[in-house]
Homo-oligomer: A and B are copies of this chain.
Amino acid sequence: MPDSSMAQRVSLITLGVADLERALAFYGALGWTPHAQSIDDVVAFFQLDGFVLALWGRSELAEDSGVVDSGGWGGVTLAHNVSSAAAVDAVLDAAADAGARISRPAGPTPWGGYSGVFVDLDGHPWEVAHNPGWQLDGAGRVSIG
């Protein structure tokens, strides 16, 4: 690969939040644990499998990213794949219990799977999906086809 190209990977996903403590409580209720050394009043990092998810103040993130904040959804949706339709229901129930809005109730999808969507307390949607056409290994790693 030439030096000037960009490797095909994502290192970090940062979600802008209005209230870090509230956001940490939400993801904590879902079972997520931030990296011990990163819990402070400013930003929280969750170690994922080879990459990281961060929660940071949305206004700070907008400024750091050099973008104008339109205040709503901006064309990004995350997904969390699980191994069965029942697991989709369980995660959506847990998210609702934690205070998420269910923006699309779980059901069969046009692509032959089963999914629903919750929106976290800061407006970030997460599809929770069972996709029988993709491989999901025991460590939760997803492979297309």
Docked pose: A46 CA to B130 CA in angstroms: 19
The one of B32, B124, B134 in contact with A76, judged by C-beta atoms closer than 8 angstroms, is B124
- The residues of B that contact A25 with a CB separation of less than 8 Å are none
Q: What number of A residues sit within 8 Å (CB to CB) of B?
A: 82
**A136: shortest Cβ distance to chain B, in Å?**
8
CA distance A47 to B123 in the complex (A): 26
In the complex, the answer to whether A2 meets B31 with C-beta atoms within 8 Å is: yes
Proximity bits, A11-50, B CB within 8 Å = 1, else 0: 1111111000000000000111101011000000111111
Q: Which of A5, A14, A76, A127 has its CB near the most chain B CB atoms (within 10 A)? A: A76
For A86, the closest partner residue in chain B by CB is: B3
Q: Is the CB of A13 within 8 A of B13?
A: yes
Residues of A within 8 A of B (CB): 1-17, 30-33, 35, 37-38, 45-53, 58, 61-62, 64-82, 87, 90-91, 93-95, 97, 103-104, 117, 119, 122-125, 127-129, 134, 136, 139-145
15 sampled A-B residue pairs with Cβ under 8 A: A2-B31, A4-B90, A4-B94, A6-B91, A7-B80, A10-B53, A12-B78, A12-B129, A13-B77, A50-B141, A61-B75, A65-B119, A66-B104, A70-B74, A76-B124
